[in-house]
Chain A
Amino acid sequence: MSEELAIDVRGMTKRFGDRTVVNDIALQVRVGEIYGFLGPNGSGKTTFIRMLCGLLRADGGSGTCLGHDVIRESESIKRNVGYMTQRFSFYEDLSIAENLDFVARMYGIPGRREAVNASIERLGLSGRQKQLAGELSGGWKQRLALAACLIHQPKLLLLDEPTAGVDPKARRDFWEQIHELAAEGLTFLITTHYMDEAERCHRLAYIAYGNLLTHGTVREVIDHVGLATWSVSGPDLASLARQLRGKAGVRQAVAFGNMLHVSGDDPEALERAIAPFREGREWTKIRSGLEDVFIHLMDRSKDNFDA
């Protein structure tokens, strides 16, 4: 990973009517980095990505993407970016090979046939290249989409919820591949809802209601939010959770299997709140996980938004 920046934008803003969907977001992604982009549904992640690759006109902002002006040079950006849409957007009535061939022609790839064959080979799609894309399962569609995005050898991949609806095995394979490609120098900006995927990213940004709330490595994000968390096990955790919620100092009480995670942003207030419930249960102070932090961020931003 170098210090060179693949994405370096500031003040990116997008409004639909009088609704601000992306509000003054700055983002820096280094070359070769896998950057996770997280946030609840409708938080503006997709809109931000579409602005980066010129699919939406930004209402404000400046900066560069792969060294090209993000506002004015979207044609050059498009040639060096692979964009994998949230919904499968290749042609379901074309076969795997035909889809890849179409993309290869569109980018004017030299040695097109070889490139298409190599791509089919590399993704383990050999023997299925004649199958129609519409007949593929979610995991295979995702593989095809990734192969198609890679065929013109982009420098930056923008992946919008690439693993939605994909089984755990396929997800793991997918992330293996992402890491291999990143090691070769490819840069990734990936949106996801899965915490395990977030932890596989080099760095993260959390966005809610169009605002960037926090960013950094997993460690930095957790530290930045400064959440204290206790894990508790024992009888009748459900009623305990009900009693704790709404108490001063307790921001959230979330069940994790046989455990309850109780978190608050003021450690002392949190300890005072849980003191009456210590008896008969096993309490351990733990390091807040990414999930605790994100649920907390989501709730807090909702409060701010509703207010």
Chain B
Amino acid sequence: MNERSGFSAQRLVAMIVKEFTQMRRDKLTFAMMLGIPVIQLLLFGYAINSDPRHLPAAVLMADHGPQARTILHALQNSTYYDFVREVKTEREGRDLLARGQVQFVINIPQNFSRDLVRGDRPAILVEADATDPAATGQALGALTSLFDQALINDLKGPLEFLAGTAGPVDVRVHALYNPEVITQYNIVPGLMGVILTMTMVMITGLAITRERERGTMENLLSMPTRPSEVLIGKIVPYIMVGYVQVGIILLVSHYLFHVPMLGSLTLLLAAAFVFIAANLSLGITISTVAKNQLQAMQMTFFVFLPSILLSGFMFPFRGMPHWAQWLGEIFPLTHFLRIVRGILLKGNGLADVSRDIWPLALFAAIVLTVGVKRYRRTLD
């Protein structure tokens, strides 16, 4: 007659079998768990671009000399600028910017070509709508070298003295891992983390509250169960769902987006296990705290938004102040993004990724402990 019986594998199996059966019956949720990764991957994978090109620009041409035209062509050829309008006055250009019809107004002053040839260093004014710095940054960054290069051909012979001299240092940049700056190489692996976070936290977040709302909790509590059996029993089936999602995402990213896979697939799957477990622990703990399914959903979003914004998925992690980086380190997504990008794009090995795996494991352990402690064994 031992009052505190230990953890029972049999009861755990009972929970797992039950959860699997219920998952299978809930056709819509099941379809969503498999459909969401594909839809989101296609949507965001093709839609998000961190290197925007073909931005609409207007030009105020007060000079029609050959050098002025060269510069215009050079801007167009860079593919950053698409000239859609020619304006007559500065005022007109400002209006277009204010209305958002163009992103840039290029102002080529009177006598530009003449002044250039005389060596007077004429000025070109580029006005940009910089409300969204990310939209204009790359295009503006390309300007200086663009002008220098563009005029090289025009400044031959007697004008050669005007061509810029090489600087004192020859700078060479090797953009490693993603030299062609393909946004998808960064976004698609990141989406794996985002999609797993969303589905895993949300689905388990509803797990306990659903039992509570349907009245089945009363029955479950009247049986001799231990909290860990119930909670782990609800987590295990979704680990498998998580792996199905990982598989789908990897296939899509390989065949549609041609994201390179430099590192070990086994290592990635092992790391994904820890990440999935961390998210499920978080979800199940939310579920023990929330009073109903609506609260659980709200809490899920409370976690989801900072996960996306502070993890380095949307904005550069290193661009954030230190306190925000510290905060970001808490979220599993932050670590998983480093792991998945590291393995896929950099070919990182176990030694490289282990410093991001242990924080995930720690997170899972702490959060699950809180969940087990919070799990109410009575209806009080």
Contacts and interface: CB of A to CB of B under 8 A. Distances in A.
Nearest to B225: A106
Nearest to B5: A75
Nearest to B26: A93
A92 B215 CA distance: 11
Contacts, number: 79
A75 B115 CA distance: 94
B11 A106 contact: yes
B43 interface: no
Interface residues of A, number: 32
Given A76-B3, A105-B17, A85 B22 contact: no
B223 A78 contact: yes
Contacts of A72: 3
A140 interface: no
A98 interface: yes
B25 A93 contact: yes
A56 B217 CA distance: 13
B10 A103 contact: no
A71 to B, nearest CB: 12
A50 interface: yes
A225 interface: no
Interface in B1-54: 1, 3-5, 8, 10-11, 13-14, 17-18, 21-22, 25-26
Contacts of A174: none
Given A55-B218, A85-B218, A105-B11, A93 B3 contact: no
A107 B223 contact: yes
Contacts of A107: 223-224
B380 interface: yes
A53 interface: yes
B91 interface: no
Interface in B190-230: 214-219, 221-225
Contacts of A81: 222
A67 to B, nearest CB: 9
A102 B18 contact: yes
B221 A105 contact: no
A55 B221 contact: yes
A81 B222 CA distance: 9
Main DSSP-derived SS at the B contact region: helix
Contact of B10 (A83, A90, A93, A108): A108
A89 B216 contact: yes
- Chain B interface size, under 10 / 10 to 19 / 20 to 34 / 35 or more: 20 to 34
Nearest to A82: B222
A216 to B, nearest CB: 29
A105 B224 contact: no
Interface in A64-83: 72-73, 75-76, 78-79, 81, 83
A73 B216 CA distance: 23
B173 interface: no
Interface in A256-301: none
Contact of A55 (B21, B214, B222): B222
A54 interface: yes
User: Max chain A CB contacts within 10 Å: which of B1, B14, B224?
Assistant: B224
A89 B22 contact: no
Contacts of A105: 10-11, 13-14, 17
B378 interface: yes
Contacts of A108: 8, 10-11
Given A57-B378, A73-B3, A79-B224, A91 B18 contact: yes
A53 B222 contact: yes
A122 interface: no
Nearest to A93: B25
Contacts of B378: 54-57
A94 interface: yes
B171 interface: no
A101 B219 CA distance: 14
A102 B233 CA distance: 13
Interface in B59-108: none
A106 B4 CA distance: 16
B270 interface: no
B215 A89 contact: yes
B176 interface: no
A87 interface: yes
B108 to A, nearest CB: 71
A295 B380 CA distance: 32
Contacts of B380: 56-57
Nearest to A105: B14
A85 B47 CA distance: 52
B379 interface: yes
Given A73-B3, A106-B224, 4 more contacts: A78-B223, A87-B218, A105-B11, A108-B8
7 contacts: A55-B222, A56-B380, A89-B219, A91-B216, A102-B14, A106-B223, A106-B224
Report, nearest first, the 7 A-B pairs whose CB atoms are least far apart.
A105-B14, A89-B219, A83-B222, A93-B25, A78-B224, A89-B215, A106-B223
